[in-house]
Structure 1
Amino acid sequence: MRKLWVILFLLIFLLSLPTFGASALEKIKKAGILKVGSDVAYAPFEFMEGDKPVGFDIDIANEIAKALGVRLQVINTSFDGIIAALKAKKFDMIISAMTITEERKKEISFSIPYYDSGQIIVIRNDNKDIKSEKDLKGKIVGVQLGTTGEISAKKLKDQVGIKEIRSYETIPEAFMDLELGRLDAVINDLPVSLYYSKNNPKLKCVGKPFTKEQYGIAVRKEDTDLLRKINEILVNLKKTGKYKEIYKKWFGTEPID
Protein backbone atom coordinates (compact mmCIF):
# COMPACT_ATOMS: atom_id res chain seq x y z
CA MET A 1 0.00 0.00 0.00
CA ARG A 2 2.85 2.31 0.92
CA LYS A 3 4.45 1.65 -2.51
CA LEU A 4 1.19 2.62 -4.22
CA TRP A 5 1.12 5.98 -2.40
CA VAL A 6 4.74 6.63 -3.37
CA ILE A 7 3.95 5.87 -7.03
CA LEU A 8 0.89 8.14 -6.96
CA PHE A 9 2.93 10.93 -5.36
CA LEU A 10 5.62 10.61 -8.04
CA LEU A 11 3.02 10.70 -10.81
CA ILE A 12 1.42 13.87 -9.41
CA PHE A 13 4.86 15.46 -9.02
CA LEU A 14 5.86 14.62 -12.59
CA LEU A 15 2.59 15.94 -14.01
CA SER A 16 3.08 19.23 -12.18
CA LEU A 17 6.48 19.84 -13.75
CA PRO A 18 6.67 22.34 -16.63
CA THR A 19 6.37 20.81 -20.10
CA PHE A 20 9.55 21.99 -21.76
CA GLY A 21 8.68 20.25 -25.00
CA ALA A 22 5.25 21.88 -25.32
CA SER A 23 4.42 23.26 -28.76
CA ALA A 24 3.63 26.93 -29.43
CA LEU A 25 -0.08 26.12 -29.72
CA GLU A 26 -0.08 24.23 -26.42
CA LYS A 27 1.72 27.09 -24.67
CA ILE A 28 -0.81 29.64 -25.98
CA LYS A 29 -3.75 27.54 -24.80
CA LYS A 30 -2.13 26.94 -21.40
CA ALA A 31 -1.41 30.66 -20.94
CA GLY A 32 -4.90 31.58 -22.14
CA ILE A 33 -3.48 34.48 -24.21
CA LEU A 34 -2.61 34.91 -27.87
CA LYS A 35 0.06 37.61 -28.09
CA VAL A 36 0.03 39.41 -31.43
CA GLY A 37 2.59 41.89 -32.73
CA SER A 38 1.22 44.73 -34.86
CA ASP A 39 2.29 48.23 -35.90
CA VAL A 40 -0.93 49.91 -34.78
CA ALA A 41 -0.70 52.99 -37.01
CA TYR A 42 -1.95 51.64 -40.32
CA ALA A 43 -5.65 52.31 -40.71
CA PRO A 44 -7.93 50.62 -41.59
CA PHE A 45 -5.91 47.47 -40.82
CA GLU A 46 -4.75 48.44 -37.34
CA PHE A 47 -5.08 51.75 -35.49
CA MET A 48 -5.95 53.11 -32.06
CA GLU A 49 -9.46 54.17 -31.16
CA GLY A 50 -8.93 55.84 -27.81
CA ASP A 51 -6.79 53.35 -25.93
CA LYS A 52 -8.07 50.34 -27.88
CA PRO A 53 -6.50 48.81 -31.02
CA VAL A 54 -9.09 48.29 -33.79
CA GLY A 55 -9.14 47.51 -37.50
CA PHE A 56 -9.45 44.75 -40.09
CA ASP A 57 -6.37 42.86 -38.88
CA ILE A 58 -7.41 43.22 -35.24
CA ASP A 59 -10.83 41.71 -36.01
CA ILE A 60 -9.14 38.78 -37.81
CA ALA A 61 -6.79 38.31 -34.84
CA ASN A 62 -9.76 38.35 -32.46
CA GLU A 63 -11.44 35.59 -34.47
CA ILE A 64 -8.25 33.49 -34.30
CA ALA A 65 -8.03 34.00 -30.52
CA LYS A 66 -11.72 33.11 -30.16
CA ALA A 67 -11.24 29.90 -32.18
CA LEU A 68 -8.32 28.97 -29.92
CA GLY A 69 -10.39 29.67 -26.81
CA VAL A 70 -8.02 32.36 -25.50
CA ARG A 71 -8.02 36.14 -25.16
CA LEU A 72 -6.15 38.47 -27.51
CA GLN A 73 -3.29 40.75 -26.48
CA VAL A 74 -2.03 43.19 -29.13
CA ILE A 75 1.55 44.38 -28.67
CA ASN A 76 2.17 47.62 -30.57
CA THR A 77 5.53 47.22 -32.32
CA SER A 78 7.43 49.32 -34.85
CA PHE A 79 7.15 47.65 -38.26
CA ASP A 80 10.87 48.01 -38.88
CA GLY A 81 11.65 45.75 -35.90
CA ILE A 82 8.58 43.53 -35.87
CA ILE A 83 10.21 40.41 -37.38
CA ALA A 84 13.13 40.60 -34.94
CA ALA A 85 10.65 40.94 -32.06
CA LEU A 86 8.74 37.84 -33.25
CA LYS A 87 11.97 35.83 -33.44
CA ALA A 88 12.88 37.06 -29.95
CA LYS A 89 9.53 35.62 -28.72
CA LYS A 90 8.01 38.96 -27.72
CA PHE A 91 4.72 37.63 -29.13
CA ASP A 92 3.28 34.54 -30.85
CA MET A 93 2.46 35.89 -34.31
CA ILE A 94 2.41 39.02 -36.49
CA ILE A 95 -0.67 40.41 -38.16
CA SER A 96 0.21 43.84 -39.50
CA ALA A 97 -0.69 44.16 -43.20
CA MET A 98 2.57 42.35 -43.92
CA THR A 99 3.28 41.43 -47.53
CA ILE A 100 4.52 37.90 -48.15
CA THR A 101 7.96 38.17 -49.76
CA GLU A 102 10.71 35.66 -50.53
CA GLU A 103 13.15 37.71 -48.44
CA ARG A 104 10.91 37.62 -45.36
CA LYS A 105 10.22 33.90 -45.87
CA LYS A 106 13.92 33.26 -45.19
CA GLU A 107 13.34 34.39 -41.60
CA ILE A 108 9.71 33.56 -40.80
CA SER A 109 6.79 31.45 -42.01
CA PHE A 110 3.59 32.88 -43.48
CA SER A 111 0.01 31.72 -43.39
CA ILE A 112 -2.05 31.38 -46.53
CA PRO A 113 -2.72 34.90 -47.97
CA TYR A 114 -5.65 36.69 -46.35
CA TYR A 115 -5.63 39.98 -48.32
CA ASP A 116 -4.65 41.10 -51.85
CA SER A 117 -2.91 44.46 -52.18
CA GLY A 118 -0.41 46.52 -54.21
CA GLN A 119 1.57 49.77 -54.14
CA ILE A 120 0.09 53.07 -55.33
CA ILE A 121 1.15 56.73 -55.45
CA VAL A 122 -0.48 59.37 -53.24
CA ILE A 123 -0.11 63.11 -53.99
CA ARG A 124 -1.70 66.40 -52.93
CA ASN A 125 -4.95 67.27 -54.64
CA ASP A 126 -3.47 70.40 -56.21
CA ASN A 127 -0.63 68.47 -57.89
CA LYS A 128 -1.17 68.25 -61.65
CA ASP A 129 2.30 66.92 -62.57
CA ILE A 130 2.29 63.37 -61.17
CA LYS A 131 0.01 60.84 -62.86
CA SER A 132 2.11 57.65 -62.72
CA GLU A 133 5.48 56.23 -61.60
CA LYS A 134 7.42 57.80 -64.48
CA ASP A 135 6.40 61.27 -63.27
CA LEU A 136 8.33 60.74 -60.02
CA LYS A 137 11.57 61.74 -61.78
CA GLY A 138 13.31 64.46 -59.75
CA LYS A 139 10.70 64.22 -56.95
CA ILE A 140 10.94 63.66 -53.18
CA VAL A 141 9.01 60.54 -52.17
CA GLY A 142 7.97 59.38 -48.70
CA VAL A 143 7.61 55.74 -47.57
CA GLN A 144 7.33 53.76 -44.35
CA LEU A 145 10.54 52.21 -43.08
CA GLY A 146 10.91 48.47 -43.66
CA THR A 147 7.89 48.13 -45.97
CA THR A 148 7.43 46.93 -49.53
CA GLY A 149 6.59 50.55 -50.30
CA GLU A 150 10.17 51.43 -49.40
CA ILE A 151 11.49 48.53 -51.53
CA SER A 152 9.34 49.65 -54.49
CA ALA A 153 10.52 53.25 -54.15
CA LYS A 154 14.17 52.18 -54.16
CA LYS A 155 13.61 50.22 -57.38
CA LEU A 156 11.86 53.21 -58.96
CA LYS A 157 14.70 55.50 -57.90
CA ASP A 158 16.98 53.67 -60.33
CA GLN A 159 14.33 53.19 -62.99
CA VAL A 160 12.80 56.68 -63.21
CA GLY A 161 15.25 58.87 -61.28
CA ILE A 162 13.51 59.74 -57.98
CA LYS A 163 15.50 62.58 -56.42
CA GLU A 164 15.18 61.49 -52.77
CA ILE A 165 13.42 58.83 -50.69
CA ARG A 166 12.48 59.72 -47.12
CA SER A 167 11.64 56.79 -44.82
CA TYR A 168 9.29 57.32 -41.86
CA GLU A 169 8.66 55.28 -38.74
CA THR A 170 4.90 55.31 -39.42
CA ILE A 171 2.85 56.02 -42.54
CA PRO A 172 0.75 58.84 -40.94
CA GLU A 173 4.01 60.81 -40.55
CA ALA A 174 4.69 60.47 -44.29
CA PHE A 175 1.15 61.56 -45.19
CA MET A 176 1.48 64.55 -42.84
CA ASP A 177 4.69 65.71 -44.54
CA LEU A 178 3.04 65.23 -47.94
CA GLU A 179 0.14 67.42 -46.85
CA LEU A 180 2.57 70.07 -45.56
CA GLY A 181 4.43 70.15 -48.88
CA ARG A 182 7.65 68.54 -47.62
CA LEU A 183 7.14 65.61 -50.02
CA ASP A 184 5.95 65.42 -53.62
CA ALA A 185 4.42 61.96 -53.24
CA VAL A 186 4.04 58.92 -50.97
CA ILE A 187 4.29 55.30 -52.11
CA ASN A 188 2.21 52.98 -49.97
CA ASP A 189 -0.23 50.04 -49.94
CA LEU A 190 -3.43 50.63 -51.92
CA PRO A 191 -6.12 50.01 -49.23
CA VAL A 192 -4.42 52.21 -46.63
CA SER A 193 -3.75 54.94 -49.19
CA LEU A 194 -7.41 54.87 -50.29
CA TYR A 195 -8.51 55.09 -46.66
CA TYR A 196 -6.32 58.13 -45.95
CA SER A 197 -7.20 59.96 -49.16
CA LYS A 198 -10.92 59.30 -48.60
CA ASN A 199 -10.66 60.88 -45.15
CA ASN A 200 -8.38 63.74 -46.22
CA PRO A 201 -9.61 65.96 -49.08
CA LYS A 202 -6.08 67.38 -49.53
CA LEU A 203 -4.73 64.00 -50.72
CA LYS A 204 -5.54 61.69 -53.63
CA CYS A 205 -4.34 58.41 -55.17
CA VAL A 206 -3.17 58.51 -58.79
CA GLY A 207 -2.59 55.85 -61.43
CA LYS A 208 -3.07 52.15 -60.83
CA PRO A 209 -1.36 49.81 -58.35
CA PHE A 210 2.03 49.02 -59.89
CA THR A 211 2.77 45.89 -57.82
CA LYS A 212 0.76 42.80 -56.86
CA GLU A 213 1.09 41.77 -53.23
CA GLN A 214 -0.59 39.50 -50.69
CA TYR A 215 -0.68 39.83 -46.91
CA GLY A 216 0.00 36.91 -44.59
CA ILE A 217 0.10 36.20 -40.87
CA ALA A 218 3.67 35.48 -39.72
CA VAL A 219 4.94 32.99 -37.13
CA ARG A 220 8.35 31.64 -36.17
CA LYS A 221 9.62 28.92 -38.48
CA GLU A 222 9.57 26.27 -35.74
CA ASP A 223 5.91 26.94 -34.80
CA THR A 224 4.44 24.64 -37.45
CA ASP A 225 1.50 23.52 -35.30
CA LEU A 226 0.41 27.14 -34.75
CA LEU A 227 0.72 27.88 -38.46
CA ARG A 228 -1.45 24.87 -39.37
CA LYS A 229 -4.11 26.02 -36.91
CA ILE A 230 -4.06 29.63 -38.20
CA ASN A 231 -4.51 28.38 -41.78
CA GLU A 232 -7.38 26.15 -40.68
CA ILE A 233 -9.08 29.11 -38.94
CA LEU A 234 -8.60 31.42 -41.95
CA VAL A 235 -10.17 28.84 -44.26
CA ASN A 236 -13.09 28.46 -41.85
CA LEU A 237 -13.61 32.24 -41.60
CA LYS A 238 -14.06 32.37 -45.37
CA LYS A 239 -16.26 29.28 -45.41
CA THR A 240 -18.64 30.64 -42.74
CA GLY A 241 -18.86 34.13 -44.25
CA LYS A 242 -17.23 35.78 -41.22
CA TYR A 243 -14.28 36.98 -43.31
CA LYS A 244 -16.67 38.64 -45.78
CA GLU A 245 -18.49 40.33 -42.89
CA ILE A 246 -15.24 41.76 -41.46
CA TYR A 247 -14.03 42.83 -44.91
CA LYS A 248 -17.27 44.70 -45.66
CA LYS A 249 -17.16 46.38 -42.24
CA TRP A 250 -13.76 47.97 -42.92
CA PHE A 251 -13.71 48.42 -46.71
CA GLY A 252 -17.37 49.00 -47.50
CA THR A 253 -17.43 46.35 -50.20
CA GLU A 254 -17.26 42.57 -50.50
CA PRO A 255 -13.94 40.86 -51.26
CA ILE A 256 -13.28 39.77 -54.84
CA ASP A 257 -13.11 35.97 -54.97
Structure 2
Amino acid sequence: MKSQFTRRGFLTTAGALAVGAPLVARPAFAQEAGTDLLADIKKRGFLRVGTFSIPPETWIDIGTGEWKGIAADFTKAVGKEIGVEVDPVVLVHSALAPALDSGRIDVISGLYKTAERQKVMAYGSKPFWYGIDVLLTRSQDGIENVQGLKDKVIGTVRGSAQEIEAQELQKRYGVADIRKYDSADPMLMDLKAGRLDAAVWWGYTFDYAAAQNPDYDFKVVEYLAPEYLGSETLPANYYVYSKNGTESLIKAFDDAIDAIKARGEDKEIMARYGLTNPSYLTGKF
Protein backbone atom coordinates (compact mmCIF):
# COMPACT_ATOMS: atom_id res chain seq x y z
CA MET A 1 0.00 0.00 0.00
CA LYS A 2 1.40 3.34 -1.01
CA SER A 3 1.90 5.83 1.82
CA GLN A 4 1.52 9.58 1.47
CA PHE A 5 2.26 12.59 3.64
CA THR A 6 0.27 15.79 4.00
CA ARG A 7 2.28 18.95 3.56
CA ARG A 8 2.55 19.19 7.36
CA GLY A 9 4.24 15.77 7.47
CA PHE A 10 1.61 13.45 8.97
CA LEU A 11 1.41 9.92 7.60
CA THR A 12 -1.71 8.82 5.75
CA THR A 13 -2.52 5.81 3.58
CA ALA A 14 -4.89 4.97 0.77
CA GLY A 15 -6.62 2.56 3.14
CA ALA A 16 -7.22 5.31 5.66
CA LEU A 17 -8.96 7.36 2.99
CA ALA A 18 -11.19 4.47 2.08
CA VAL A 19 -12.58 4.06 5.58
CA GLY A 20 -12.94 7.78 6.28
CA ALA A 21 -10.05 8.10 8.73
CA PRO A 22 -8.54 11.56 9.27
CA LEU A 23 -5.66 12.67 7.10
CA VAL A 24 -3.92 14.22 10.08
CA ALA A 25 -3.51 13.02 13.63
CA ARG A 26 -3.60 15.85 16.12
CA PRO A 27 -5.23 16.06 19.53
CA ALA A 28 -8.51 17.95 19.33
CA PHE A 29 -10.67 19.47 22.00
CA ALA A 30 -14.23 20.71 21.87
CA GLN A 31 -14.52 24.47 21.53
CA GLU A 32 -15.83 26.06 24.69
CA ALA A 33 -18.21 28.99 24.96
CA GLY A 34 -16.39 32.30 25.29
CA THR A 35 -13.36 31.23 23.26
CA ASP A 36 -12.41 32.54 19.83
CA LEU A 37 -11.76 29.74 17.36
CA LEU A 38 -10.52 32.11 14.63
CA ALA A 39 -7.82 33.43 16.96
CA ASP A 40 -6.79 29.85 17.77
CA ILE A 41 -6.61 28.96 14.07
CA LYS A 42 -4.47 31.98 13.23
CA LYS A 43 -2.16 31.19 16.14
CA ARG A 44 -1.65 27.59 15.02
CA GLY A 45 -1.47 28.62 11.34
CA PHE A 46 -3.78 26.04 9.83
CA LEU A 47 -7.46 25.27 9.50
CA ARG A 48 -8.80 21.71 10.03
CA VAL A 49 -11.52 21.13 7.44
CA GLY A 50 -13.97 18.23 7.61
CA THR A 51 -14.66 16.86 4.16
CA PHE A 52 -15.60 13.66 2.32
CA SER A 53 -14.68 11.91 -0.93
CA ILE A 54 -17.11 12.59 -3.79
CA PRO A 55 -15.56 13.91 -7.04
CA PRO A 56 -15.79 16.56 -8.34
CA GLU A 57 -16.86 18.19 -5.07
CA THR A 58 -14.00 16.88 -2.99
CA TRP A 59 -11.45 14.07 -3.08
CA ILE A 60 -7.84 13.23 -2.30
CA ASP A 61 -5.49 12.47 -5.18
CA ILE A 62 -3.94 9.20 -4.02
CA GLY A 63 -0.84 9.75 -6.14
CA THR A 64 0.02 13.21 -4.77
CA GLY A 65 -1.92 13.42 -1.50
CA GLU A 66 -3.40 16.72 -2.75
CA TRP A 67 -6.92 17.75 -1.79
CA LYS A 68 -8.84 18.49 -4.99
CA GLY A 69 -12.33 19.47 -6.05
CA ILE A 70 -14.81 22.34 -5.82
CA ALA A 71 -14.83 22.43 -2.01
CA ALA A 72 -11.05 22.12 -1.91
CA ASP A 73 -10.50 25.04 -4.27
CA PHE A 74 -13.02 27.29 -2.52
CA THR A 75 -11.61 26.44 0.91
CA LYS A 76 -8.01 27.02 -0.16
CA ALA A 77 -9.09 30.41 -1.50
CA VAL A 78 -10.80 31.18 1.83
CA GLY A 79 -7.68 30.08 3.71
CA LYS A 80 -5.60 32.44 1.59
CA GLU A 81 -7.95 35.31 2.45
CA ILE A 82 -7.71 34.51 6.17
CA GLY A 83 -3.95 33.91 5.99
CA VAL A 84 -3.74 30.26 7.07
CA GLU A 85 -3.05 26.88 5.51
CA VAL A 86 -5.79 24.30 5.03
CA ASP A 87 -5.63 20.66 6.21
CA PRO A 88 -8.48 18.32 5.13
CA VAL A 89 -9.86 15.58 7.36
CA VAL A 90 -11.75 13.00 5.28
CA LEU A 91 -14.83 11.50 6.96
CA VAL A 92 -18.09 9.80 6.02
CA HIS A 93 -21.13 12.10 6.17
CA SER A 94 -22.47 10.62 9.39
CA ALA A 95 -19.16 11.36 11.18
CA LEU A 96 -18.94 15.05 10.24
CA ALA A 97 -21.20 16.50 12.96
CA PRO A 98 -19.60 14.46 15.80
CA ALA A 99 -16.14 15.51 14.61
CA LEU A 100 -17.20 19.16 14.63
CA ASP A 101 -18.79 18.83 18.05
CA SER A 102 -15.66 17.24 19.52
CA GLY A 103 -13.31 19.86 18.08
CA ARG A 104 -11.57 17.35 15.85
CA ILE A 105 -12.30 19.71 12.95
CA ASP A 106 -12.87 23.48 12.82
CA VAL A 107 -15.33 23.65 9.93
CA ILE A 108 -17.15 21.40 7.46
CA SER A 109 -16.66 22.28 3.82
CA GLY A 110 -20.02 22.15 2.15
CA LEU A 111 -23.31 20.83 3.51
CA TYR A 112 -26.89 21.54 2.59
CA LYS A 113 -28.92 23.34 5.27
CA THR A 114 -31.53 21.21 7.04
CA ALA A 115 -33.60 21.83 10.16
CA GLU A 116 -32.02 18.89 11.98
CA ARG A 117 -28.50 20.08 11.28
CA GLN A 118 -29.32 23.61 12.39
CA LYS A 119 -30.19 22.25 15.83
CA VAL A 120 -26.60 21.17 16.45
CA MET A 121 -24.46 23.21 14.05
CA ALA A 122 -24.06 26.83 12.96
CA TYR A 123 -24.21 27.90 9.30
CA GLY A 124 -22.55 30.83 7.61
CA SER A 125 -24.83 33.34 5.88
CA LYS A 126 -23.12 32.96 2.49
CA PRO A 127 -23.57 29.79 0.43
CA PHE A 128 -20.61 29.27 -1.86
CA TRP A 129 -22.31 27.11 -4.52
CA TYR A 130 -25.51 25.15 -5.18
CA GLY A 131 -26.11 21.48 -5.86
CA ILE A 132 -28.53 19.67 -8.14
CA ASP A 133 -29.57 16.19 -7.00
CA VAL A 134 -30.75 13.42 -9.28
CA LEU A 135 -32.69 10.19 -9.22
CA LEU A 136 -30.63 7.56 -11.06
CA THR A 137 -31.39 4.13 -12.50
CA ARG A 138 -29.48 1.73 -14.72
CA SER A 139 -29.41 2.75 -18.37
CA GLN A 140 -31.58 -0.18 -19.45
CA ASP A 141 -34.09 0.18 -16.61
CA GLY A 142 -37.74 0.95 -17.39
CA ILE A 143 -38.31 3.60 -14.68
CA GLU A 144 -39.10 6.80 -16.59
CA ASN A 145 -40.22 9.18 -13.83
CA VAL A 146 -40.68 9.46 -10.07
CA GLN A 147 -44.18 8.02 -10.34
CA GLY A 148 -42.51 4.76 -11.42
CA LEU A 149 -40.95 4.33 -7.96
CA LYS A 150 -43.99 2.61 -6.46
CA ASP A 151 -42.91 -0.61 -4.70
CA LYS A 152 -39.27 -0.01 -5.72
CA VAL A 153 -36.13 -0.07 -3.56
CA ILE A 154 -33.96 3.05 -3.65
CA GLY A 155 -30.59 3.93 -2.14
CA THR A 156 -29.18 7.03 -0.52
CA VAL A 157 -26.15 8.10 1.52
CA ARG A 158 -26.74 8.04 5.27
CA GLY A 159 -26.56 11.47 6.90
CA SER A 160 -26.83 13.36 3.60
CA ALA A 161 -29.59 15.73 2.48
CA GLN A 162 -30.35 13.14 -0.23
CA GLU A 163 -31.66 10.95 2.60
CA ILE A 164 -34.35 13.59 3.21
CA GLU A 165 -35.19 13.63 -0.50
CA ALA A 166 -35.43 9.83 -0.55
CA GLN A 167 -37.85 9.92 2.39
CA GLU A 168 -39.98 12.50 0.58
CA LEU A 169 -40.01 10.34 -2.56
CA GLN A 170 -41.14 7.42 -0.41
CA LYS A 171 -44.02 9.44 1.04
CA ARG A 172 -45.20 10.73 -2.32
CA TYR A 173 -44.68 7.77 -4.61
CA GLY A 174 -44.88 4.61 -2.51
CA VAL A 175 -41.22 3.56 -2.46
CA ALA A 176 -41.06 0.13 -0.80
CA ASP A 177 -37.72 0.55 0.97
CA ILE A 178 -34.83 3.00 1.39
CA ARG A 179 -31.38 1.47 1.83
CA LYS A 180 -28.80 3.74 3.43
CA TYR A 181 -25.07 3.64 2.73
CA ASP A 182 -22.08 5.28 4.38
CA SER A 183 -20.72 6.39 1.01
CA ALA A 184 -21.81 6.55 -2.62
CA ASP A 185 -19.54 3.85 -4.10
CA PRO A 186 -21.24 0.80 -2.51
CA MET A 187 -24.64 2.32 -3.29
CA LEU A 188 -23.75 2.63 -6.98
CA MET A 189 -22.31 -0.89 -7.03
CA ASP A 190 -25.62 -2.22 -5.67
CA LEU A 191 -27.51 -0.18 -8.25
CA LYS A 192 -25.36 -1.56 -11.06
CA ALA A 193 -25.83 -5.12 -9.74
CA GLY A 194 -29.61 -4.75 -9.59
CA ARG A 195 -29.87 -4.84 -5.81
CA LEU A 196 -31.40 -1.34 -5.99
CA ASP A 197 -33.97 -0.06 -8.46
CA ALA A 198 -32.83 3.56 -8.20
CA ALA A 199 -30.60 5.88 -6.16
CA VAL A 200 -30.65 9.52 -5.07
CA TRP A 201 -27.27 11.04 -5.85
CA TRP A 202 -25.51 14.35 -6.40
CA GLY A 203 -26.28 15.56 -9.95
CA TYR A 204 -22.99 17.40 -10.33
CA THR A 205 -21.15 14.19 -9.48
CA PHE A 206 -23.16 12.30 -12.10
CA ASP A 207 -22.48 15.01 -14.71
CA TYR A 208 -18.76 14.85 -13.94
CA ALA A 209 -18.59 11.04 -13.91
CA ALA A 210 -20.60 10.69 -17.12
CA ALA A 211 -18.27 13.15 -18.86
CA GLN A 212 -15.26 11.06 -17.77
CA ASN A 213 -16.93 7.76 -18.78
CA PRO A 214 -18.89 7.86 -22.08
CA ASP A 215 -20.10 4.29 -21.48
CA TYR A 216 -21.48 5.08 -18.03
CA ASP A 217 -24.16 2.54 -17.19
CA PHE A 218 -26.60 4.91 -15.44
CA LYS A 219 -29.23 7.40 -16.56
CA VAL A 220 -30.99 10.31 -14.89
CA VAL A 221 -34.68 9.69 -14.29
CA GLU A 222 -35.19 13.20 -12.99
CA TYR A 223 -33.25 16.17 -11.67
CA LEU A 224 -34.89 16.71 -8.30
CA ALA A 225 -36.66 20.01 -7.77
CA PRO A 226 -35.75 21.95 -4.60
CA GLU A 227 -39.26 21.42 -3.21
CA TYR A 228 -38.19 17.94 -2.04
CA LEU A 229 -36.02 19.75 0.51
CA GLY A 230 -38.69 22.34 1.27
CA SER A 231 -36.95 25.13 -0.64
CA GLU A 232 -37.68 27.49 -3.52
CA THR A 233 -34.09 27.37 -4.77
CA LEU A 234 -31.64 24.57 -5.37
CA PRO A 235 -29.95 23.30 -2.21
CA ALA A 236 -27.07 25.56 -1.26
CA ASN A 237 -23.71 24.37 0.00
CA TYR A 238 -22.61 26.20 3.15
CA TYR A 239 -19.63 26.05 5.44
CA VAL A 240 -20.77 24.69 8.79
CA TYR A 241 -19.37 25.42 12.24
CA SER A 242 -19.69 24.63 15.91
CA LYS A 243 -22.16 26.80 17.80
CA ASN A 244 -19.51 27.81 20.37
CA GLY A 245 -16.82 30.43 19.85
CA THR A 246 -17.18 30.63 16.08
CA GLU A 247 -18.76 34.05 15.47
CA SER A 248 -15.55 35.65 14.21
CA LEU A 249 -14.65 32.57 12.15
CA ILE A 250 -18.06 32.63 10.45
CA LYS A 251 -17.69 36.33 9.62
CA ALA A 252 -14.19 35.74 8.24
CA PHE A 253 -15.50 32.98 5.96
CA ASP A 254 -18.50 35.06 4.84
CA ASP A 255 -16.23 38.01 4.01
CA ALA A 256 -13.83 35.71 2.14
CA ILE A 257 -16.67 34.23 0.06
CA ASP A 258 -17.80 37.75 -0.89
CA ALA A 259 -14.26 38.60 -2.00
CA ILE A 260 -13.91 35.37 -4.01
CA LYS A 261 -17.20 36.00 -5.82
CA ALA A 262 -16.45 39.70 -6.41
CA ARG A 263 -13.36 38.85 -8.44
CA GLY A 264 -15.08 36.03 -10.35
CA GLU A 265 -12.97 33.27 -8.87
CA ASP A 266 -16.10 31.22 -8.10
CA LYS A 267 -16.85 30.88 -11.84
CA GLU A 268 -13.25 29.86 -12.50
CA ILE A 269 -13.44 27.14 -9.85
CA MET A 270 -16.65 25.66 -11.21
CA ALA A 271 -15.35 25.77 -14.80
CA ARG A 272 -12.29 23.69 -13.81
CA TYR A 273 -14.66 20.78 -13.25
CA GLY A 274 -16.87 21.35 -16.29
CA LEU A 275 -19.75 22.83 -14.25
CA THR A 276 -20.59 25.92 -16.29
CA ASN A 277 -24.37 25.84 -15.81
CA PRO A 278 -25.26 29.15 -14.07
CA SER A 279 -27.57 27.22 -11.70
CA TYR A 280 -24.52 26.02 -9.77
CA LEU A 281 -23.82 29.59 -8.67
CA THR A 282 -27.30 31.16 -8.72
CA GLY A 283 -29.43 28.39 -7.21
CA LYS A 284 -32.17 28.94 -9.83
CA PHE A 285 -33.59 25.63 -11.10
- AA matched with 2:81: A
- Structure of greater Rg: 1
Find out whether 1:234 has 2:247 as its counterpart. no
**CA distance change for structure 1 residues 135 and 240 in 2, over 3 Å: closer, same or farther?**
same
Aligned to 2:172: 159
Aligned to 2:5: none
Instruction: Return the offset for 1:142.
Output: 1.0
Q: 52-61 or 206-215: which moved more?
A: 206-215
Percent sequence identity over matched residues?
26
- AA matched with 2:236: Q
Normalised to the residue count of structure 2, the TM-score between the two structures is 0.78
1:33 to 43, 46, 53: 46
CA RMSD, Structure 1 to Structure 2 (Å): 1.8
Aligned to 2:55: 43
Q: Contact 1:141 / 1:183 at 8 angstroms: preserved in 2?
A: yes
**CA distance change for structure 1 residues 108 and 178 in 2, over 3 Å: closer, same or farther?**
same
Find out whether 1:186 has 2:199 as its counterpart. yes
- AA matched with 2:208: Y
Normalised to the residue count of structure 1, the TM-score between the two structures is 0.86
Find out whether 1:142 has 2:155 as its counterpart. yes
Q: Secondary structure at the match of 1:122?
A: strand
Unaligned 5+ residue runs, structure 2?
1-32, 227-233
Structure holding more helix per residue: 1
1:213 to 235, 240, 263: 235
Aligned to 2:127: 113
Q: Secondary structure at the match of 1:217?
A: strand
Aligned to 1:54: 68
CA distance in 1, matches of 2:222, 2:242: 37
1:247 to 270, 273, 278: 270
Q: Contact 1:247 / 1:254 at 8 angstroms: preserved in 2?
A: no
Aligned to 2:218: 203
**Cα deviation digits, residues 153-173 of structure 1 (max 9, x gap):** 122222211122111111122
- AA matched with 1:234: I
Aligned to 1:86: 100
Q: Contact 2:204 / 2:275 at 8 angstroms: preserved in 1?
A: no
**Cα deviation digits, residues 108-167 of structure 1 (max 9, x gap):** 11121111223310111111x212221111111111011111111122222211122111
Q: Contact 2:144 / 2:221 at 8 angstroms: preserved in 1?
A: yes
Aligned to 1:122: 136
Q: Contact 1:244 / 1:254 at 8 angstroms: preserved in 2?
A: no
CA distance in 2, matches of 1:174, 1:105: 27
